[in-house]
A and B are shown apart, each in its own frame.
Chain A
Amino acid sequence: MMRRILAWAPLGALAVAAMAPLLLTPYQLTVATYIMLAAIVCTGLVLMTGVAGMVSFGQAAFVGVGAYVTAALSTTFALSPWIGLVAAIASAAVLAALIGLITVRMSGHYLALATLCFCISFYFLVGNAELLGRFNGITGIPPVTVGAIALRSEAAGFALVLGALALVIWWTRRLLASRTGRVLRSLRTGTVIAESFGVDGQRHRLIAFVAAAVTAALSGWLYAHVQRFVNPTPFGVPASIDYLFMTVIGGSGQVWGALLGAALVTTAKQELQGLLQPVFGATTRLDMLVFAALMIVMLHRARRGLWPLLQGLISLHLPAPPIVAGIDLPSGRARPTPGLPVLAASHMRRSFGGLVAVDDVSFDVRAGEILGVLGPNGAGKSTLFNLISGTLPRSSGELSFLGQPLASVGARDMCRRGLARTFQHVKLVPDMSALENVAMGATQRGHCGLAAASLGLDRAEERRLLGWSQHLLARVGLADKAWEAAGSLPLGHQRLVEIARALAADPVLLLLDEPAAGLRANEKTDLARLLLELRADGLAILLVEHDMEFVSELADRLMVMNFGRLIACGQPGEVRANVEVQEAYLGVAA
């Protein structure tokens, strides 16, 4: 019941907001319109900064692109504002794609600084362009017309902006809950998760950046036709910083944070000006100092912004969504015959400068077996793991998967071929539910992208992907934890979620990197039972472990590494009796 009320709450709020022109003074209505215009930009920033972990110091320039493109088209060329809208969005998208393509491969502060430089260039460019009216700007922009009605009044402008804001928020929330949205949400922790599950992380970073730019351009388009004139002032770096402050202060993690931040900062700014100007003179910008200080304190104390604090304050305990019905999707791959090699490596070698981390290692993993890899610290296990999973290129040697030779492939391609892995240090998206984390692994089993998610064409696929994820969660024994945030689960459960996520990719080979590390005894027993079941299903499992006892009991075969070399390989009994192995582990022959 509570859920149903909450689901309708935004619509109720929208209806109340639509009444505002009847209640507010014209001045208040204008302020409210500005707040909503800012909130549209901030919603894009939430997507980009809070969700995908990128920062832009140039968002105001994208607003400016939207405003100037439509202003020029609708005055100089006397085109309809609706053509201006398409052109505004297209220009911002192209510009963002260009800036993004150049910088997404590098770490985040380069993109941030590139946007900063873009914003400065844009400001001086439009400020000096004869065609765009230099610093005086463009006046006489026509209002938006719907049919024969021109939206000329303050109330009409308010309604237009309100509609756009509602649309942007609705779209962003829908996007975030989709397959593409899950990938975007994983990017805040880096691109490793996305790449390991067959998704192009850089491309999704670009998508988030372009989406934020397009949202900003929409706000610019609205601004131009509501305000009816543009000049360069509101599109400079200070405005960009304001947008960023609003987003961070409001709470960059959720869409509602954007609205909260825009409202708070806009009103606080006006109040502050009113307080400071009588004391310090009309030119004072000490309000900026207050915001800078507030921003720094927020970064120190509450980096996720005010919205989560507010949520905690009124302790809004949302009842969990209903558990999705599990669906056991049939495997989309041909299963190799048990006993035949899935992965074969011969004479693999990897050196880092003078250090040879993996030296002339040959082995194979067969379908329906568990191969344990043992070795003391620094033996080269992790490097071997990275060579197989495609994270590191090898220096020399051959590797083949399901009989096909692998020239040089990355993690993304290995996942598509049927390899899935877990991480030694758990890599889950902490604020995403366990179910959605598992669904992240199934990304390759779906096809719906941004467009399908926006139009709501992904419902059936989403039901299948989430059902499949729920099935796997049940399989690892966490059916009742589906909607809990992955970061709040105990370590043992997090490792199980990682295994479920790997299984969601429908693999033929499962790479497990120390899955038993940090588990309690009974948890280890459960894990062992699960692995044996998976083996019975015909999966090939490569298990890197420290825990000799755990591996020896499970594995069909063991291989032991020391100083980068393979020193023994065979039945657990034989290997344990091997003198060299005993020396490696105990220092002397027992």
Chain B
Amino acid sequence: MTFDIAAVLFQDGVANGAVYVLLATVLVLVFTVTRIVFVPQGDLIAFSALTLAAFEAGHTPGTVWILALGAALALILAGGKAAGERNLAGLASAALWFGAVPAAIVLTALFLVPKEAPLLWKMAVTCALITCLGPILYRLVFEPIAAASPLVLLIAAVAAHFGLSSIGLHVFGAEGVRTPGFAGPPLVVGDLVVTRQTVGVIASSLVLVGLLSLFFRRSLSGKALLAAAHNRRGAELIGVSATAAGRTAFIVAGLIGAISGILIGPMTTLYYDSGFILGLKGFVGAIVGALAIYPLAALGALLVGLVEAFASFWASAYRDVIVFTLITPVLFWRSLASPHVEEEAE
């Protein structure tokens, strides 16, 4: 392997790794707040790229129908529950989150995104569509069993993934897509040639991680999330609702998923079911941080990106085998590092 090839692989690795960093960050966030290993995060990423591609092709993206259907179901469930309890505030909140907001986004996506609209506008609507899916997923799948063990939540998450990918095939079809990214001539730094896409992805990832850390340190809802993550029951006693914390975590997950999809779309061809493998790669990274420590998780995710890039050069057919076998030494290391964890009863 020459230096040039290594440099290109390294770039690829870091760029993919930057997206995995976002993924791992979200996985850690969602896990610490809700104890859910959020496997469908990968689906949100794939759906985001597929949505943008549909807008580019001048179609109505299938996401619109997924959102409309999901919101309607969530509205019936949440509204019905609130009405049964004669809880006016709950009714209003359900009407807002599962009624008005999704309706507005769906209508915008249907009528206000012509084929010749600027790329940024399409990206913005894509983000809105995907972000809105986050809390709906939480309401439909996880909220009713929020107190269950992580294992039950994990089974629910995997079921949700299979549900999403089966709708995905239905509304997006089996073809893969690539979306436009940061265009323009590559940058030359000394001997190195760096594509704009790479720089753009890394910069966006850094900015997002920075914003997230600001959100946790400065904003009240960020602090509430941290409190809920640290001690769910304690947080509830001081007035932080676990449900609200879960919903916030899923809004953040949706938003970052949408942006990740837009970032990774130009680098790899994405299919309706690409999300699963993508999500698991982020997960391998997150496990390095024991699903709890952000910087370690980010480092792990970066490592996954690099291993993947070099593995696809040396043994491209075995790329995924190598990445997922990587989890074995990582788990072994975690198992030695972490003291015995006592399982909760089901």
**Contact surface of A with B, Cβ cutoff 8 Å:** 53-55, 57, 99, 102-103, 105-110, 112-114, 116-118, 120-121, 124-125, 128, 188-192, 202, 237-238, 241, 244-245, 248, 280, 283-289, 291-293, 295-296, 299-300, 303
Contact = CB atoms under 8 A, between A and B. Distances in A.
B162 interface: yes
A153 B284 CA distance: 46
A292 B321 contact: no
A121 B174 contact: no
B328 interface: yes
Given A102-B335, A120-B280, A188-B346, A110 B287 contact: yes
A296 B160 contact: yes
A248 B145 CA distance: 16
A120 B277 contact: yes
B174 A283 contact: yes
Contact residue range for chain B? 35 or more
B344 interface: yes
B37 interface: yes
Interface string B259-289: 0000000000000000011001001100100
Given A121-B324, A291-B159, 18 more contacts: A103-B335, A105-B340, A106-B334, A106-B341, A110-B331, A113-B37, A113-B154, A117-B284, A124-B317, A190-B344, A238-B162, A283-B169, A288-B163, A293-B163, A296-B160, A299-B145, A299-B152, A299-B155
A192 B342 contact: yes
Given A289-B167, A295-B155, A103 B318 contact: no
28 contacts: A54-B151, A103-B331, A105-B335, A107-B343, A108-B150, A108-B151, A109-B151, A110-B287, A110-B334, A112-B154, A114-B328, A120-B280, A121-B320, A124-B318, A128-B321, A188-B346, A190-B344, A191-B342, A286-B166, A288-B162, A288-B166, A289-B166, A291-B162, A292-B162, A295-B155, A296-B141, A296-B160, A300-B144
A60 to B, nearest CB: 13
B166 A295 contact: no
B2 interface: no
B156 A124 contact: no
B337 to A, nearest CB: 10
A295 B346 CA distance: 17
B159 A106 contact: no
Given A241-B158, A293-B163, A284 B287 contact: no
Given A55-B155, A125-B318, A288-B162, A108 B169 contact: no
B280 A116 contact: yes
Among B155, B276, B277, B280, find the residue whose CB has the most chain A CB atoms closer than 10 A: B155
Contacts of B346: 53, 188, 303
Given A117-B327, A189-B345, A299 B287 contact: no
B332 interface: yes
A114 B327 contact: yes
A112 B159 CA distance: 14
Interface in B281-340: 283-284, 287, 317-318, 320-321, 324-325, 327-328, 331-332, 334-335, 338, 340
Contacts of B230: none
Nearest to B151: A108
B223 interface: no
Contacts of A99: 328
Contacts of B283: 113
Contacts of B325: 117, 121
Contacts of B165: 285, 288
B233 interface: no
Contacts of A284: 169-170
B169 A120 contact: no
Contact of B162 (A121, A241, A280): A241
A322 to B, nearest CB: 31
Given A55-B151, A113-B287, A286-B170, A299 B320 contact: no
Contacts of B277: 120
A124 B158 CA distance: 20
Given A292-B163, A293-B163, A296-B163, A244 B338 contact: no
Contact of B150 (A109, A120, A287): A109
Given A53-B343, A114-B331, A190-B345, A289 B163 contact: yes
A192 B318 CA distance: 41
A121 B165 CA distance: 20
A98 B205 CA distance: 37
Contacts of B318: 124-125, 128
A292 B170 CA distance: 15
Nearest to B272: A285
A242 B86 CA distance: 40
Contacts of A54: 151
Contact of B145 (A190, A192, A300): A300
Contact of B154 (A109, A124, A285): A109
A106 B317 contact: no
Contacts of B344: 190
Contacts of A291: 159, 162
A102 B332 contact: yes
Contacts of A120: 277, 280, 320-321, 324
Given A114-B327, A116-B280, A188 B345 contact: yes
Nearest to B320: A124
